[in-house]
Structures are given as structure tokens and as C-alpha cells.
Amino acid sequence: MSARLTHPSITPAGRPVRFCYDGQPVEGLEGETIAAALAAGGIKAMRRTRSGQRRGLYCGMGACFDCLVTVDGRASQRACLTKVADAQQVRSTQPAGTAEDPLQPLVPEADAEPVQWQVDVLVVGAGPAGLSAALAARRAGAEVLLLDERLESGGQFYKPLATSHRAATPTDRQFAQGLALEREVRGAGVTIVQGAQVWAAFSPREVAALIDGRARVIRCRQLVIAPGAYERPVPFPGWTLPGVMTTGAAQTLARAYRVAPGRRVVIAGNGPLNLQLAAELLADGTEVVAVLESAACPSWHQWRPLLAAAYTAPDLLRDGWRFLRQLRTHAVPVLWGHTVVAAEGRADGPGGLRSVQVARIDAQGHA
């Protein structure tokens, strides 16, 4: 069953492609990742551990390496960052490195010698901070190169729509702000290279990157590193089951690739992103079983921090109330002071997550 989400003003824009995953044909859309296409086809399990257990999409941003697959003989490719292509051969096992099952080199031999680039300012990371830094440097007259590992600029905060889809108009404020900033940066003359993996800084003026499978060395007068943040997941029994993923990964699937992270979703953790994800999934027609927030329910006894929040971040507060109202309208329980203590399911097969156990957090912070 397809898990693709529909929205009145968002339509698929990528050409349909067909690739092979562990010998089975899978349909995808040009412009989306292998992980998104697999999730759209209801496939959760990706890499295999040495003991044969399966792992699935977890961070969705290239940080955890749980989605490693072999793509056309190239081992250890991150499915959450690698685009699908027609006739691609994707498999969950590593190649044996034998004549019958050869390993393909990452860098083609003809391009083994790295290409050298020279710029005034190199910015690493095209989230809000990297885009803003690149814009400021360019406006000051510098020649600026901006490298970003993801397929589109915007980072975890703006999380733009992938090129597999198009929106008649930006569907929310975050999309609109991200698009406007990127347009400004490109318009100012900053060179942006997506899909660039920066893997070393030999000095603050010499950086190595892998771009389109080719080695590059960039020399710069100034280096700005803006890699953004990633979530701090809390391990619990079953946390590695395919189907358990971070809020960021679930939101990337839904927002950027228009794919539901599952048919029935439990969201747990701390902070406003969980409420936003729940509201977005509900708006797209996904069933949200419950939201577990580890913090206690806000009350008027906390009037001081609430007043400070109303003064410093009124938009955030307004959004929070709006998300909570949406959850109440859809009768989704929000369990304050609760967390997930275990996930259950099959780690050795394609099934993955089946259920979760939840518990109240006591006054000492234990569940």
C-alpha cells in the first residue's frame, strides 16, 4: 500500500522511476531519496547488522548510518541522502568484493586526482545559519562557495519540498521564508553546491569534499562551519527496530517527500517540533495515535517563563497553541509527563515496529 500523502496545492513533479530493492521492483519519483521511495512502498527495513538484525530510516539526515544500502555495487550509501534513479540496483547487503559480486570504487579512477578550487569564503551547511552567513559575506564583496550535504538548501529548519514535488504556493510560513532566503542568496551570486560531503579540514584554509563521487580540495581565506544540529535520541529497548525514527526523520519524509512515516504514528519526545509534526501529519490524513511530551503540562503557575516566551517568541507560542487546538479537534491524546519505555516488533524481518510501551515520568525524572 502506498504511503504517499496528498495535498490540494502540492503535486508530484518528478518523473516516475523504477528501481530494484533486494530483487523486488519499487516505484519512485525522480528527485526523492531511496529512503523516501522505499517508505512510500511500505518498506521499512534497510541495512543488516552482523547478527542479521535489520535497521531502518532513523535520523533521516545522514548522521546515524542506519539506512546504509549498496547502490549499483557501491557499498555503504546512505538511503536517506541518495537519490533514486531508473534501473538502480539497491540492496540491503554489502557486496562480497569477489569477481561475481564486485565492489565499485567511490571515486572513478580517471578522477582520482582531486580538483582544486579557490574561493574567498567557504561556508559548510546551507541551513538558515549557513545561508545567512553566505549572504552576508557575499554582500561584503567576497566570492562565496556554499557546500551542503543534502539535496536541497534549507536544512532541518526550513525542510524544503524536494524536487519530486511542486507547490503552487508555499504551504506555510517556514516554506515561504526558506524559499525567500535561498532566492536572495542565489540572487546575490553565492555558488551553492548540493550533495557535497565535506569530510576533512586539513587546516582552516584547506577543506576536502566529495561532490558527485569526485574528490575536491577547496582553499579558502575564511571558513564558516554551519552544520546545524541533530536530535538527541534517547535509547530504550527496541529503539533500533525499523519503524522507530526521530521526529526530524518523520518530518522530512512528510514535509520534504510527501510520504507518511507509517499508517499509525505515536510521537514522543520533548519540544514544539513534536506538536508541529503531529499537526502536519493530521492535516495530511495520517492517523496520530498519541503525542507523548516528556515535560509537565504548562500551567499558569509558570506565568514568568510564559510571559518571557510571549515577549521573546510570540510566534512560537501562537504556533504551539494552534497545534494543540488541532490535536484536540482530532481527539488526539496529548500525554504530558509521559515517555516511551519500549518498542516491540521483529528486528529480523521486514515487519519492524508493532507497538510501544509508555510510562509516566516521576518527580525524579524516571519513567
Residues in contact with ligand FES by CB under 6 A are: 57-60, 62-67, 78, 80
Let me know: does 221 contact 227? Beta carbons within 8 Å: no
CB 19 within 8 A of CB 86: yes
What is residue 48's three-state secondary structure? strand
Nearest distance, CB of residue 170 and ligand FES, angstroms: 26
Query: What minimum distance in Å lies between the beta carbon of 78 and ligand FES?
Result: 5
Report the nearest approach of ligand FES to the CB of residue 248 (Å): 10
Element (H, E) at 191: strand 191-193
Whether 77 contacts 33, CB under 8 Å: no
CB of 174 to ligand FES, least distance (A): 22
Q: Which is nearer to ligand FES, 10 or 85 (CB)?
A: 85
Residue placing its CB nearer to ligand FES in the complex, 62 or 227: 62
Quickly tell me which residue has 542506519 as its cell: 66
Q: Which is nearer to ligand FES, 119 or 241 (CB)?
A: 241
DSSP symbol at 72: T
Instruction: Give 37 or 64: the residue with its C-beta nearer to ligand FES.
Output: 64
Strands lying side by side in the sheet with 115-124: 191-193, 144-147, 115-124, 214-225, 206-211, 196-203
Instruction: Considering the complex, state which of residue 78 and residue 150 has its C-beta at the smaller distance from ligand FES.
Output: 78
d(C-alpha 180, C-alpha 186), whole Å: 10
Q: Which is nearer to ligand FES, 59 or 122 (CB)?
A: 59
**Contact (CB, 8 A) for 174 and 127:** no
CB of 189 to ligand FES, least distance (A): 32
Query: Smallest gap, in angstroms, from Cβ of residue 225 to ligand FES?
Result: 20
Please list, in sequence order, all residues whose beta carbon lies within 8 angstroms of the beta carbon of residue 9, skipping any fewer than 6 positions away: 167, 168, 169, 171
